Structure 1
Amino acid sequence: MTTRPPTPSRRTLLRALTALPASALVLGELPGLLGTAEAAAPASGYATRYTIVPFLNSDDGTVNVYQSDDAADFRLLQSSAYTPPSNRIRDASVFKHTDGYYYLTYTTHTWQDVSTTIGFARSSDRVAWTFLYDYPVPITDLSRAWAPEWFVDSDGSVNVIVSCSTVDDEWIFTPYLLAATNSALTGWTSPVALSGIGSNHIDTYIVKVGSTYHAFTKNETAKYIEYGTAASLKGPYTISGTGDWAGWGSYREGPSVIQLDNGGWRIFFDGYGDGTYYYSDSYDTFATWSTPTALPTLSGTARHFTVIKEAMSGGTSVARNATRSFQSVNYPTRYWEEQSALLNLPVLTSSSTTADKQAATFTVVAGLADSNGYSFRDTAGNYLRHYDFRGRFDADDGTSTFAKDATFIARTGTTGGSVRFESYNYPGYYLRHYNYQLRVSLADGTDLFRQDSSFVPVTSWA
């Protein structure tokens, strides 16, 4: 039976500050929170992959690579994946170019030092990286060029937004735009300050929705991530979100924003004051946001990163309209079995009774609420759904609530051929066994949780 029993930020060192901790996400409050929505499966035959390349809380001379298929549970892909030949690597931003390579741009010096260059590296596989060059940012009397962020516009043009200060006040930063002048990303236009954002803003990250540019930028005086919009990439931006406008708290930096499979938007940011990395979701184009949720795998380890999302061919799948049994990865003698309408994980062998074998056999069908997801039907025609977070079987009552409760999204398991099933209407919550009972629980980022929530579809017992 399974049993359960930082280095200061550059801004912290500049000014001794205390942080306001964000609230943790409470499961029972989830349906009523602003900014929540159902999970969504990638299109059939595809998987979604999110990649980050953060520098380490303990070492700003190297970066790790992590990936996730749900934009929350990040797993280490490669430790110390890239160490520049000289200087440091901080605030790394990553994107995939049209040439098929992944590119990094990053801060080249630690916070104490004059830093007038930004670095570039590339990789074909996100694991092995090659240094390209350090680029001297051509700004007169430049003191520091920090936190370069990639931005690819809807016309395919590649840009970098970099926060720069000059020697007259080395701690007052302004965001500048550099546009690539060739597809090899070896030439750049002269820096142009983004209009409307103003000085003393850093870590500016931009996304485009329709014809509108949306900027998320840290106000270095107020210590809040602010929000503004513009009709042009260069601005002028109108800052409409100030103070604690989104409920994220203060002393947050390094925002990165990506769109999820379900159409919502997720922002990641470094809670550098309390050593926690957070994400928060919006489903009304950035007007309201969910309560910040900690990233358990990354908090205390990773620092300032950006996120890229890719649709990958293949993906995790389970044959539909077929009968299967489901074997636990970390307790391979145990299988899903319906017992008194509840889903448990008892031991099953060839000598088990016919009734037990039938109760461990399920028909896999398209998700009742999302045809790219999955639902599971027992031999009596009842469906597996979560109820009070417990896995149980009930007759379909035809309601949308039942359909959502009975739909699960397939995610990558811990071993080859294994699958994890994410709840459709509680994103980030997975079917997992606990005391040999199946329930829906919030992923905590541990290997134990991943193993407890990983199952292998096998030939049915009956």
Structure 2
Amino acid sequence: MSIPTRPRALSRRSFLGAAAATSVALAADVSLGARTAHAADSAYVMGYFTESPLNNGNDYGLHLAVSTDSLNWMPLNQNAPVVTPTAGAGGLRDPFILRKQDGAFVVLATDLKGTDWGYNSQYIHVWDSADLRTFTNYRRPKLHGMATHSWAPEAFWDASRGQYALIYSSVNSTGHSVIMVNYTTDFLTVSAPQVFFDPGYDVIDGDMAVGVNGVNYLFFKNSATGGLTGARSTSLNPGSFVPFGTSLAHGGTEAPTLVKSLTSNTWYLWGDTYTPNGVLYAWQTNDLAAGSWTPVDQRLYTHPLNAKHCTIAAITAGQHSNLVTRWGAPAWNRLKSYNFPDRYVRHANLIARLDTYPFDPYPDSQWKLVPGLADASGVSFQSVNYPTRYLRHFNYALRLDESDGTAGFAADATFHRVAGLADASWASFRSHNNPTRYVRHSDYTLRIDPVVTATDRADATFSVGY
């Protein structure tokens, strides 16, 4: 039995769900991918692990982030894990959060730390959680007895069986990757494994939307195309799903996450673009059955720093507030360019510039926005990894310098945040001591300049997020 080679930079259940501009609750429960959204839901929680290009940000525990609009995410616990496996490989990949029929949560994850693809665990990690603030009853159910893996587990409620279907990626007897299924009521005792989906070529990373106008949808990574493909069935029976539509990719893409907006008819399909840049990318449609998707503008969403293989669940406003209270908001921000939304402000060799995400050292892009050194009504940008240094202008170019305690330095390092010059929902930063000049990028380096043209305004507009 051969084992498929998996690319190093994996990422599966991206995040997101609804382009909700407001937190309007639905009048009835709806399918939200493989999850169920309830009438009181108005926010979202994401689970993920982290990796970065030079491994500086690698962490194989469960990370959490929250969002009120499903597009812009705030990592919790300073982007550190909230729980880490204590058995098996001692780490996880591919987490999945399911709100069960009783309203409590269960967390599933691949039993794998790092990229040791030769570690073939027949087990998965499982936790129970009432509120995602505590995690209990850690266990590792065995899904099969084959000499191969159990990757990217997720689950959905199969009402016809009165059980949860637990699907995952494995290798069948013919030697190629398929989606398997076990059935369970407690995520401890499971039925014998069956092949759930096998189109005759390698597939991994299955993600479900159940009961959409009488149809069930499965999206998966199609290894033949290097992208995401859909399949559908009017039942949930193993072997009943038939592929449809075209493959979607932004480079090499895996880890689909299919989520329905809480406030509109929009569906989002997220994929982890492990090549060339290792980022989360999203498509959208208003007609899931049509199989026609368009890319979401990258200005509209910001995923957590170094997030990989994500999962999304809808939650209430109270649960959102409780998670922030329990785990805390970040003490830092990142700044994204308006006209190059795949680039973030960072320092490199003490020069301020825009670089394409992701990169290492990733703390180069983390900033503490502190009260202005020369005027507390303004803001100064303190480096996270060089905390004695601040962004300041020198001959109009921005660089990272250590404060010398002088009034001149303080003025050079102080800026006033105003509505974005290209988009008022974003932000621009006016120099304190050169008030006709604004922070902008030019050839990807940052400086302060007068703003005259539409291009100038776009160059001087940034999103302040995480």
**Do they superpose with TM above 0.5?**
yes
Q: CA offset at residue 37 of structure 1?
A: 8.3
Question: How far, CA to CA, are the matches of 2:461 and 2:71 in structure 1?
Answer: 11
Q: Hey, what does 2:295 align to over in structure 1?
A: 291
1:345-384 equivalent positions in 2, closer than 5 A? none
Q: Hey, what does 2:100 align to over in structure 1?
A: 97
Q: CA offset at residue 132 of structure 1?
A: 2.1
Question: How far, CA to CA, are the matches of 1:175 and 1:133 in structure 2?
Answer: 22
Tell me the SS of whatever aligns to 1:222.
coil
Cα gap change, 1:59/1:130 in structure 2, threshold over 3 Å: closer, same or farther?
farther
Question: How far, CA to CA, are the matches of 2:70 and 2:9 in structure 1?
Answer: 32
1:224 matches 2:227: yes
Q: Hey, what does 1:236 align to over in structure 2?
A: 240
1:68-217 equivalent positions in 2, closer than 5 A? 68-78=67-77, 79-86=80-87, 87=89, 88-109=91-112, 110-130=116-136, 132-139=138-145, 141-153=146-158, 157-165=163-171, 169=175, 172-180=176-184, 182=185, 184-195=186-197, 197-208=199-210, 209-217=212-220
Q: CA offset at residue 314 of structure 1?
A: 9.6
Q: CA offset at residue 96 of structure 1?
A: 1.4
Show CA shifts across 1:229-280 (max 9, x none).
1111124222112444xxx334111111111121211122211112111122
Question: How far, CA to CA, are the matches of 1:62 and 1:315 in structure 2?
Answer: 21
Question: How far, CA to CA, are the matches of 1:178 and 1:219 in structure 2?
Answer: 22
Q: CA offset at residue 60 of structure 1?
A: 4.9
Cα gap change, 1:442/1:251 in structure 2, threshold over 3 Å: closer, same or farther?
farther
Is the CA contact 1:68–1:75 (under 8 Å) kept in the aligned structure 2? yes
TM-score of the superposition, structure 2-length normalised?
A: 0.57
Cα gap change, 1:434/1:253 in structure 2, threshold over 3 Å: closer, same or farther?
same
Question: How far, CA to CA, are the matches of 1:100 and 1:56 in structure 2?
Answer: 28
Cα gap change, 1:291/1:388 in structure 2, threshold over 3 Å: closer, same or farther?
farther
Which residue, out of 295, 309, 327, partners 2:314?
Answer: 309
Q: Hey, what does 2:413 align to over in structure 1?
A: none
Question: How far, CA to CA, are the matches of 1:298 and 1:149 in structure 2?
Answer: 21
Question: How far, CA to CA, are the matches of 1:222 and 1:194 in structure 2?
Answer: 21
Q: Which amino acid aligns with 2:294?
A: S
Q: CA offset at residue 443 of structure 1?
A: 7.8
Over the aligned positions, Cα root-mean-square deviation in angstroms equals 3.9
Question: How far, CA to CA, are the matches of 1:330 and 1:98 in structure 2?
Answer: 47
Q: Hey, what does 1:42 align to over in structure 2?
A: 24
1:13-32 equivalent positions in 2, closer than 5 A? 13=8
1:55-74 equivalent positions in 2, closer than 5 A? 55-57=49-51, 58-74=57-73
Question: How far, CA to CA, are the matches of 1:199 and 1:157 in structure 2?
Answer: 28
Q: Which amino acid aligns with 1:64?
A: H
Tell me the SS of whatever aligns to 1:143.
coil
Is the CA contact 1:213–1:232 (under 8 Å) kept in the aligned structure 2? yes
Show CA shifts across 1:60-111 (max 9, x none).
5312111111111111123211110121211111111234432111110242
1:255 matches 2:256: yes
Q: CA offset at residue 312 of structure 1?
A: 3.3
Question: How far, CA to CA, are the matches of 2:102 and 2:19 in structure 1?
Answer: 35
Tell me the SS of whatever aligns to 2:317.
strand
Cα gap change, 1:37/1:311 in structure 2, threshold over 3 Å: closer, same or farther?
closer
Q: Hey, what does 1:280 align to over in structure 2?
A: 283
Is the CA contact 1:196–1:236 (under 8 Å) kept in the aligned structure 2? no
Question: How far, CA to CA, are the matches of 1:97 and 1:204 in structure 2?
Answer: 19
TM-score of the superposition, structure 1-length normalised?
A: 0.58
Question: How far, CA to CA, are the matches of 2:281 and 2:197 in structure 1?
Answer: 29
Q: Which amino acid aligns with 2:153?
A: P
